[in-house]
Each structure stands twice: as C-alpha cells, then as structure tokens.
Amino acid sequence: METGGFDLFFQIWRKEYLKLNKALFALLLVHIGVAVYHYLRIRNAFIVNEPVLLWSDIIEKGGIFFSRFEKPLYLSSVILAVLQFYPETDKRRLRISCHLPMNEQVMLWGMLAFSILTVTIYWFLDLAAACLTGLRYFPYDVYSQQPLIMFYWYIKALVFYAVSAVLTLELSWGDKFRRGIMLAGFYNLINMSVYNSPLIYLIPLILTALIFIPAVYYPALRFREGGDV
C-alpha cells in the first residue's frame, strides 16, 4: 500500500534532519556569528565616529551597511543543496526511495520544502539581527529599505539552492556542464539590484525562483527510470 500524505511528508523531514543536523547546527552558528560580528562592528563604528557623519556617508554613497549578511545566506543555500542531494546520488539512495511504495512526488516536495524552510529560518535570523541593529543605530531613511533588500537576497538564495541541487543530482559531467550553461543565462535576472528601485524589479527574480525550484524534479526523477548518464 502506498504511503502518502502528511505522514510521509513529516517522515521525510525527520530523515532530512537526521541526515543534516550537524551541518544545520554549524550553519546556524555561522549566521549567529555573523549577526554578533555585525552588531559589534556597527557599535564600534559609532563609538569611534560621529553618528551624523556615518549616516551622511551611507546616504550619499547609497551604501548597504548590512551587506555582510548576503554571502553567508547564499553559501548556506549552496552547502545545504550539496549535502542534501550528494549522498542520495553517491549511494543511490534517491533511486531506491523512488522505487519504494511511496509517492515520489511527495518525497521530492518534502525534501525541497525542508530546505526552503531551513533557508527561510536562516534568513529570518539575519533579517531580525540586521533590522534590530538598524533600529538601534540608524535613522529611518538609512534602514527603511532593509527588509526589501534582504527579501531580494532570500529569493536569490532559493535560486542558488535550486541550481546547486540540479547540478549535484546530475551524475554526468557533460550534463552538469549543459545545465550550468542553461542556468547561467538567467544570471542577469538574479543579479539585478533593488536598492532604491521599483518593487516591480522583484517580479522577474520571483518568477525565476518559481521556475528553478521545480527544475530539481528532472534530474531527480531520472533515477526512478534508471538513468545514470
């Protein structure tokens, strides 16, 4: 009898947690460390310099004083995708799972949802740390665009996760190269800046994420058909 529904969904989450718990904790410590470092650097800058001079410099140059949160989020997404799917391909566990009496679509969606939730939690931690620091040390004109810019980083991190998952699941280096070339064509869409830009600029990026995440299905389900190359 086929297993399905929410029971399977949460079983998959438990399996993913047991597989990734050490990496998840290590990445959590990285994000906490970045948050603490960010706060200490900002506080030290205001101790050494006049607040008005710092505010004016950021406004005139359009600087993003919380930019140190961006790259750790992207890195976490890439590491998560590789650690989640490489063991499945290296040990053929994903193919075996797809042949078990379960709904393979629920299985894959469960794996994707687990990682999306994880990236979301890391992003919320970063957002909370950045916004609390902004509220503490900066006027509204300086910190007002923090949530929008960091939401852009969040969507971009999901795209990086999907791309990394696709490339990890492809066993053939030729397929990895071809997929990489195809996905690189979207680079300009995910590299646009939303600083002081209309909100409509976010739409292409969100659409790109909605296209890339389901694309993980193609290499994953090929295991079910027995295709290695």
Least Cα distance to 220 among 160, 167, 169 occurs for 169
Give the whole-number percent of the chain exceeding pLDDT 90.
27
Q: What is the tens place of the pLDDT at every residue in 116-141?
A: 999 999 999 999 999 999 888 888 87
pTM here is 0.82
| DSSP-derived secondary structure letter, 103 | -
Task: Note whether residue 227 is domain-resident.
Answer: no
| Torsion on CA atoms 164, 168, 173, 179, rounded to nearest 10 | -40
Task: Note whether residue 181 is domain-resident.
Answer: yes
Contacts of 6 (CB under 8 A, 6+ apart): none
Task: Note whether residue 75 is domain-resident.
Answer: yes
CA 203 to chain centre: 18
23: domain range?
5-222
Task: Note whether residue 35 is domain-resident.
Answer: yes
The Cα–Cα gap between 39 and 17 comes to 30
Task: Note whether residue 139 is domain-resident.
Answer: yes
The count of other CB atoms within 10 Å of the CB of residue 47 is: 7
Q: Look at residue 217 in the predicted model and tell me its pLDDT.
A: 75
Q: What is the tens place of the pLDDT at every residue in 14-47?
A: 888 888 999 999 999 999 999 999 999 988 888 8
- State how many domains the chain has: 1
Q: What is the tens place of the pLDDT at every residue in 38-49?
A: 999 988 888 887
pLDDT tens, the chain, 229 aa long: 344 456 777 778 888 888 899 999 999 999 999 999 999 998 888 888 777 777 777 766 666 788 899 999 999 999 999 998 887 776 555 554 554 555 666 777 888 889 999 999 999 999 999 999 988 888 887 788 888 889 988 988 998 898 888 888 876 666 667 766 766 666 555 666 565 556 666 777 777 778 777 777 777 666 555 544 3
Task: Note whether residue 229 is domain-resident.
Answer: no
Among left, alpha and beta (phi > 0; psi -120 to 50; other), residue 170 is beta
Helices in 49-186 by DSSP H: which ranges? 51-61, 70-90, 93-99, 104-137, 140-143, 146-169, 173-184
Task: Note whether residue 88 is domain-resident.
Answer: yes
